[in-house]
Amino acid sequence: MNWLVNTLTSTLGRKLITALTGLFMMLFLVVHLIGNIQLLKGDGGEAFNKYAHFMGHNPLIQTVSIANFGFILLHVVMTLMLTLQNKKARPISYAHDTMGKSSAWSSRNMGILGTVVLIFIVVHLQNFWYQMKFGTSVVDIKYGTDITAYKDLYTLTSVAFQELWLVILYVISMAFLGLHLSHGFESVFQTLGLYHLKYNVLIKKIGIALCVLVPAGFAVIPVVMHLQLPYGFPILGGVLAVALVLSVVYQPKNLTKVMVAGDA
C-alpha cells in the first residue's frame, strides 16, 4: 500500500487525484443536466419522473452516484491539503503581488469558488436527494396503463422552485460554478500533461463552452419553472444556443499570443 500512501501525501499525487475527481464530476454534471432538461418538456413531469425512476433503480448508475459522493469528498480534501501546503511553503505574501496581471481571477480564488459550490451542493442534496430518499411529501403516481408507480419528483421540484430565494441561490451558484469550471478544466489537462501549444487553444475553447453551457442550462431550469413559462424547451434551447455561439466566437487572445510566441 506504499503507492497509495505516497500518492496521498505527495504534491503530485494530490494534484493528480484532484484533477481526476474534478474531471469525473464534470462528466457527471453534463449527464445530470441532460436528465434535468426533461423538467421543461411540458408533459406534466412524466418524462422526468420516468427518467428519475430509471436512474434510481439501475444498479450501475446507483454505484456511480455513490462513487460521485466519494469523489466530491476526496476532491475537497485534496484541494484543502494542497492549499494548506502552499500556505505553509509561503507563509509570508509577496511585498508586490503581481499575480492579478498574469492570471485570471478564478484561478486565484478557486478556494472561494469551490466553497460556494460546496454549500450549493449541500443545499441541493437537502432539498431534493434527501427528500427523494427519506422525505414523506413525495407521492407515487402512475401514467396511463403503466402499472409502475413513479415517485412524483417533478412536483417536488416544481414546488421547491416557487421559492424565490432558492432560484436566486441556484443562479448565483451556477455563476460561481462556471468560474470554477473555467479554471478547473484547463488545470486537469495541465496536471495530466496534455496541455500543449498545438491544441491548447482548442482545450481553452472546449473549456469555455463547458463552463458556459452547463451552468447556463442548470440556471435556466429553476427560472423557467419559477415563472411557470409554458415554453420551457424553446427557452432553454435558445439560451444554450446563444451561450454556445458566444463560447465559440470568444477568442482567448492571451493564449493565442503565447502560442504565436512559442511557434516563433
Is 128 inside a domain boundary? no
The percentage of residues in the chain with a pLDDT greater than 70, rounded to a whole number, is 82
Final residue of a structural domain among 89, 119, 140:
89
Is 85 inside a domain boundary? yes
Is 195 inside a domain boundary? yes
Is 37 inside a domain boundary? yes
Residue 101 pLDDT greater than 80, yes or no: no
pLDDT at 164: 95
Identify the CA nearest to 221 among candidates 153, 177, 161. 161
For residue 76, the one-letter residue type is V
The three cell numbers of residue 176 are: 460561481
The residue with cell 485570471 is: 104
Identify the CA nearest to 138 among candidates 37, 206, 53. 53
**Domain total of the chain:** 2
pLDDT at 168: 94
Residue 94 pLDDT greater than 90, yes or no: no
Number of H-type helices and E-type strands within the chain: 13, 2
Is 197 inside a domain boundary? yes
Is 117 inside a domain boundary? no
pLDDT at 3: 65
Residues 83 and 172 in one domain: no
- Distance between CA atoms of 32 and 42, rounded to whole angstroms? 19
Residue 117 pLDDT greater than 70, yes or no: yes
Give residue 163's domain range. Answer: 159-264
Distance of CA 263 to the CA centre of its chain: 34
Convert the pLDDT of each residue in 226-238 to its tens digit: 999 888 999 999 9
The residue with cell 469558488 is: 113
Is 47 inside a domain boundary? yes
Q: Residues 92-103, buried b or exposed e (16+ Cβ, 10 A)?
A: eeeeeeeeeeee
Final residue of a structural domain among 89, 119, 135:
89
The three cell numbers of residue 246 are: 458566444
Final residue of a structural domain among 39, 54, 89:
89
Convert the pLDDT of each residue in 125-175 to its tens digit: 888 888 888 877 788 999 988 889 999 999 999 999 999 999 999 999 999
Is 73 inside a domain boundary? yes
Distance of CA 158 to the CA centre of its chain: 21
- Distance between CA atoms of 177 and 108, rounded to whole angstroms? 15
